[in-house]
Amino acid sequence: MREVFQQELQDVQERLTEIAGLVESAITRATQAFSDSDVALAEEVIADDAKIDEAANSLDEIAIDILARQAPVARDLRVVVTALRVSSSLERMGDMAEHIAQLARQRFPEKVVPKGLRGTFKQMGAHDVAMSQKLTRLLATEDIALAAEIRDEDDAVDELHASVFDFVLGETWKGNPIDTVDATLASRYHERFADHAVSIAKKVEYLATGDWAGASSVTV
């Protein structure tokens, strides 16, 4: 019984890693579609979001089934509840990638972000992609050194996010309202993506360090 249970927990972990891989692919293509105004790639990301949602829902059903059949307690219970939280955050990360792709599609054939901000968004996108890669590895290996790296990347994203607003509200900004709206939303989506990655990393870290309540808590 115990062995079956451990195998089931491993299955949950593998599925979370798989979903994180789908998210990684989504943000990689979304940020590329965004900077290159590649509408075909954007369409792909948008279409593929349903796969992330389905994978997250399947994972949830499996986790709930484990709760019903195995009635885990203590740390094991925290692991399963944390899996539900992580799947929910991954699903939202997929949505953020989709939103970034939608912005690229909406403005096509125009570039979605005006010249002065392209470098900033390239950097934000690169950080989001790097965080996502690290998150997949963190979920696969539980190497919690990655959690600290993810937090560092997030600090960089937060700074870039603030710099977007400084730029848009500065005197040299020549964008029209549509540019301002796009920059605002794009920056927000990139930043929220990063927030969710940090939230997941913290939960994995809590579980590893024994702060089970922190692992399954609600706050980002």
Q: What does the block give as tokens for 51?
A: 């796969």
If one asks whether residue 178 binds its own copies (CB under 8 A), the answer comes out as yes
Q: What does the block give as tokens for 112?
A: 């979605």
User: Residue from 37, 123, 163, 180 that binds its own copies (CB under 8 A)?
Assistant: 180
Query: For the chain, what is the radius of gyration of the CA atoms?
Result: 19
- Tokens 């089931």 sit at which residue? 8
Pick from 109, 75, 118, 85: nearest CA to 201:
85
Q: Taking the complex as a whole, how short is the minimal distance between the CB of residue 71 and its own copies, in angstroms?
A: 3
Nearer to its own copies, 41 or 121 (CB): 121
Nearer to its own copies, 163 or 217 (CB): 217
Residues numbered 56-115 forming contacts with its own copies, rule: CB under 8 A:
56-57, 60-61, 64, 67-68, 71, 73-74, 77-78, 81, 84-85, 87-88, 91
Cis status of the peptide bond prior to 109, with omega within 30 of 0? yes
The contacts of residue 124 (CB under 8 Å, 6+ apart) are: 157, 160, 161, 187, 190, 191
Residues numbered 117-176 forming contacts with its own copies, rule: CB under 8 A:
165, 168-169, 173, 175
What count of Cα atoms within 13 Å lies in the side-chain half-sphere of residue 102?
Answer: 13
User: Residue from 4, 47, 162, 181 that binds its own copies (CB under 8 A)?
Assistant: 181
CA–CA separation, 90 and 216 (whole Å):
15
Residues numbered 37-66 forming contacts with its own copies, rule: CB under 8 A:
53, 56-57, 60-61, 64
Summarize as ranges the residues that interact with its own copies (CB under 8 A).
53, 56-57, 60-61, 64, 67-68, 71, 73-74, 77-78, 81, 84-85, 87-88, 91, 165, 168-169, 173, 175, 177-178, 180-181, 184-185, 188, 213, 216-219
